[in-house]
Amino acid sequence: MASVMAALVLIAACAAPAMGVPRFRPRTAGATPGPTMACDTWTGAALCSVLPGGVTELVLNKYGGGAMQIPNHYLTGQFSMDMKLPAGNSGGTATTFYLLDSITPTNKDPRHSEVDIEFFGNTTGNPMLFATNIFCGGFQNLAQFRLPFDPAAAYHNYGFRWNTRQIVWLVDGQPIRVLNRTPRGPWPLLAMKPQSSIWATPWTVIKPDFTFGPLKVFTKNFVAQGCPALKTQVMAAAMVPRCAGAWNAQLTPVQLAAYARLRKATLVVDYGWDKA
């Protein structure tokens, strides 16, 4: 196992405006759709359904939460999706868009690979915090941001890019978090596939309020570009040349400067690496 891990590498990059803290704009029509996210069969039509205009609705009610995914696994790539979150009292809920491997049983498994975007609800009706997380090697690395808009008021685009050097989280195409790989730090090693869901958080005292009906998330314009892989594959340096793509580019100095300004303006907390 040690010899295999020594040969492994993973993860990402992106772009941002050169001047000032970027303005975040609602996603508009005309985005290029990617492979279709399909509703998980176990959720049922009441929890996940496709609406006119290519919109997929995920529902959380007292019986469960909706989820969807694509069958494709990737080793490096870029993935994004427009999302409009539940409005009002969203306490006790989590809305997620994430990359996840398909062979490890829990996030405590040393092989586990997962990269997350998460919105945890609140009872105040205030805009939810934007949480970014990564699980691998039995560790996690969580950072949270306060976006300069309400994610429930309009569609915005959220996504990831990854290559062999870093992971980048994006909001409306602009990098809001960059995680660079270090020689001895933990890193995702398994192929992952994009998924999305809404669910009730089991660890919170507050439970979802369905007084005014179920909570709903609306998604559209899912895009996936990357290096196709079998679910059991790991990323090796020798695979990189044949997996060339725009997601392999590093941030330029100008982009890094814009990213630093945005991070400073929106960061709430960065916990760094910790045991999962």
Q: Is residue 154 part of a domain?
A: yes
Q: What is the pLDDT of residue 16?
A: 28
β-partners of residue 228 are 74
Domain span at residue 212?
7-17+32-275
Q: Is residue 266 part of a domain?
A: yes
Q: What is the mean pLDDT of the chain?
A: 83
Structure pTM? 0.85
Q: Is residue 67 part of a domain?
A: yes
Q: Is residue 1 part of a domain?
A: no
**How many domains, in total, are found in the chain?**
1
Q: One of 70, 75, 91, 114 is an active-site residue; which one?
A: 114
Share of the chain above pLDDT 70, in %: 85
Query: What CATH number should be reported for the domain holding residue 245?
Result: 2.60.120.200
Q: Is residue 57 annotated as part of the catalytic site, yes or no? A: no
Per the document, the length of the chain is: 276
Q: Is residue 118 annotated as part of the catalytic site, yes or no? A: yes
Q: Is residue 161 part of a domain?
A: yes
Predicted confidence (pLDDT) at residue 231 exceeds the cutoff of 80: yes
Which of the pair, 21 or 179, is modelled with greater confidence?
A: 179
Q: One of 82, 101, 118, 172 is an active-site residue; which one?
A: 118
Q: Is residue 111 part of a domain?
A: yes
Tokens at 205, concatenated: 């005292």
Q: Is residue 110 part of a domain?
A: yes
Spell out where 172-239 has E strands: 174-180, 193-200, 215-229
Q: Is residue 22 part of a domain?
A: no
Q: What is the pLDDT of residue 119?
A: 96
First-to-last alpha carbon distance for the chain, in angstroms, is 21
